[in-house]
Amino acid sequence: ETGVTQSPTHLIKTRGQQVTLRCSSQSGHNTVSWYQQALGQGPQFIFQYYREEENGRGNFPPRFSGLQFPNYSSELNVNALELDDSALYLCASSLMGQGAPYEQYFGPGTRLTVT
Amino acid sequence: GEDVEQSLFLSVREGDSSVINCTYTDSSSTYLYWYKQEPGAGLQLLTYIFSNMDMKQDQRLTVLLNKKDKHLSLRIADTQTGDSAIYFCAEIGSGGYQKVTFGTGTKLQVIP
């Protein structure tokens, strides 16, 4: 158990809708990263938040947005859902600023299906 | 950009050693990681190696890094059925934020 929780576990949405996924970081961690894992693929980096600010972004369009709250929990929002957004969404928490190594602890993921 | 490649599948007999290989392209990689993913679960960090090391041993796990060839391997000694999972190699570069790039994953099947 990593102490990182995500909700909901599964979600089914229709194309064009909006979705919000939630993540609760491990206690003491100040950084959260979100990844999209399509079936049979490795996780792809979406973005990272450090102390409530976006700290880096992968090759995802602006309709993917996020928030990090003062308690370091986080949300991933996806607008105008497309069929290709169907995937497992993983959040990972870590502690940045304390030196090496950089260890991310993953939650169990949210399985999003877009129909 | 960064790219991490792995073979898709490996099958071994219980008790044998497993070797999972990975190649990467980012010469500025600082840390390289091995993660394990069981069906329906998130990723579990198994071990990592700093880029200035050649080898790291952690119980049944041995990581070998050939920085010149950008080749990373994970050896699992005395492989057990509980080791059946997908194994991901990942690297982190020296950029201003901590972006981790994952490989496509190697599915390890352990035959009893």
Q: Which of A50, A96, A106 sits opposite B43 (nearest CB)?
A: A106
One-letter amino acid of B24: Y
What is the per-residue pLDDT for B41? 81
Which long-range CB contacts under 8 A does A70-74 form with residues at least 24 apart? Answer: A72/A25, A72/A29, A72/A30, A72/A32, A73/A22, A73/A23, A73/A24, A73/A25, A74/A22, A74/A23, A74/A25, A74/A32, A74/A34, A74/A49
Say if A66 is an interface residue toward chain B (CB within 8 Å): no
Say if A60 is an interface residue toward chain B (CB within 8 Å): no
- Using CA atoms, how far apart are residues B97 and B69, in angstroms rounded to an integer? 25
- Using CA atoms, how far apart are residues A72 and A51, in angstroms rounded to an integer? 7
- Nearest-CA neighbor of A68 among A52, A56, A57, A55? A52
In a structure prediction context, what are the per-residue pLDDT tens digits for chain B, which is 112 residues long?
568 999 999 999 999 999 999 999 887 778 899 999 998 788 999 999 988 899 999 999 999 999 999 999 999 999 999 999 999 999 987 665 677 899 999 999 999 9
**Residues of chain B contacting A104 with CB distance shorter than 8 Å:** 45, 98, 100
Query: Per residue in A67-104, pLDDT tens?
Result: 999 888 999 999 999 999 999 999 999 887 765 567 88
SS3 content of chain A, % helix, strand, coil (to 5): 5, 50, 50
